Structure formats: C-alpha cells, structure tokens
Amino acid sequence: MSFINYSSREINCKIVYYGPGLCGKTTNLQYIYRRTNPGQKGKLISLATETERTLFFDFLPLALGDIKGFKIRFHLYTVPGQVFYAASRKLILKGVDGVVFVADSQIERMDSNIESLEDLGINLTEQGYQLEKLPFAMQYNKRDLPNVIPVADLDKVLNLRRVPGFEAVAVTGKGVFETLKAVARQVLFELKSHY
C-alpha cells in the first residue's frame, strides 16, 4: 500500500525481501546501503540477534530521485528467514507494494527455497494479497559457490510466474541493483495502472 503525499510531493512504496534463512536478504540491503549516496538513504536498521541473524526485520529507506516533480521513496524491508519466525514474517508483509524473493542457489537449500516460497504465498493470502498479482522479482543468489543449481532448473521450480529473475552474488553486489530496479519498475507501473 503506497503513500502518495501531494502536500510534500512524495510517493512512498514498501518493498519486502523474502526468502529462506541465510539466503542473503540482509546482505542485499547492506550492499544497497553501502552503494547509495548519503543524501539518498536513511539509516539501515537491523533488528538482529547477537549472532547477526535477523530477529524481526531490517529496514532501509531510499530516496532515489524524482519523477515528474515527485520524490520517489522506497522503504526496503527484509523478513527473518528462519522458519520459527513465521509470525513476524507475516507482520512485515502488511502494506507491501512489491516483493523480491531471494533464493539460495545451493543444491542443499532447494527444499528451503520451496518451503519459503510456499510460506510467502500463504502469508500474502492471509493479508489479502495474491502473489500472482503483486509486483515480484526473483533473485538467484550465491552464484559464486561451487554447488549451485543451474538457473534454468531454479526457474522451472521457483519462478512459475516467469517474473524477472536475476543471478546474483549479493556479497559483491552482483545482481543486487538489477533486482531492485526490476521490482521498483513493476511497483511504479502498478501505481500507474491504478491512478
């Protein structure tokens, strides 16, 4: 659910990074934070455990620029990936405008990817959304590791909607901004179709 403010001439949209535990959601946000000009970003907030596992969410506000005199702001959130944080994950999806699913490309994580994607679908439905209709981008992360599944196979299993999919190595930044851009584009065009 976007916030369109004609008074301050701002449009705020919420994008959520979803995916199994340790797939690199927080790493995506950390890279975006490092590579954005100070004037374009706020603080990166991480509600994490002592071992740096996300406990509730990470939050990064981005103001990338203007469109037709309106400042476009994206609020990026990650969910806690670990299975037992299901209740928290559900809350963070409230009011979402677009979702990035970060998949872990390693063979042994395939089951976790599938489980997390199903969890996403269920949680969205509970919030009154349909994954099929939401702006959505897919990221295949950790492509630098030796034991990865070919992208074509990942696509076949995870990307049933055939949304834009990107190979990524979030620690080095490969594919990170491409993914964000793909979902941002869909979010803005979705707004266009409604207003």
Partner 1 sequence: MTGSDLVMYEEEFRKIDTELQKLHQQSNAKVVFLVDKNGQLIASAGETHDIDTTSLASLTAGNIAATGGIARLLGEKEFTILFHEGEKDNIHISLIGQRIILVVIFDSRSSLGLVRLRVKKAAEALGKIFEEITQKVEKEKGEGKLEESIFAEISDEDIDNLFK
Binding site for partner 1 (CB under 8 A): 1-8, 12, 14, 42-43, 45, 47, 56-57, 59, 61, 64-65, 67-70, 72, 75, 87-88, 90-92, 94-95, 129, 133-134, 177, 180-181, 184-185, 188-192, 194-195
Minimum distance from CB of 137 to partner 1 (Å)? 13
6 three-class SS? coil
In the bound state with partner 1, the residue whose beta carbon lies nearer, of 18 and 57, is 57
Minimum distance from CB of 157 to partner 1 (Å)? 26
Minimum distance from CB of 194 to partner 1 (Å)? 4
Asked whether the CA dihedral 119, 163, 22, 108 is positive or negative, the reply is: positive
Largest alpha-carbon pair distance within the chain? 52
135 three-class SS? coil
In the bound state with partner 1, the residue whose beta carbon lies nearer, of 162 and 194, is 194
In the bound state with partner 1, the residue whose beta carbon lies nearer, of 39 and 69, is 69
In the bound state with partner 1, the residue whose beta carbon lies nearer, of 110 and 131, is 131
DSSP summary character for residue 145: S
- Best CA proximity match to 99, nearest among 175, 186, 177, 36: 186
Asked whether the CA dihedral 172, 157, 165, 124 is positive or negative, the reply is: negative
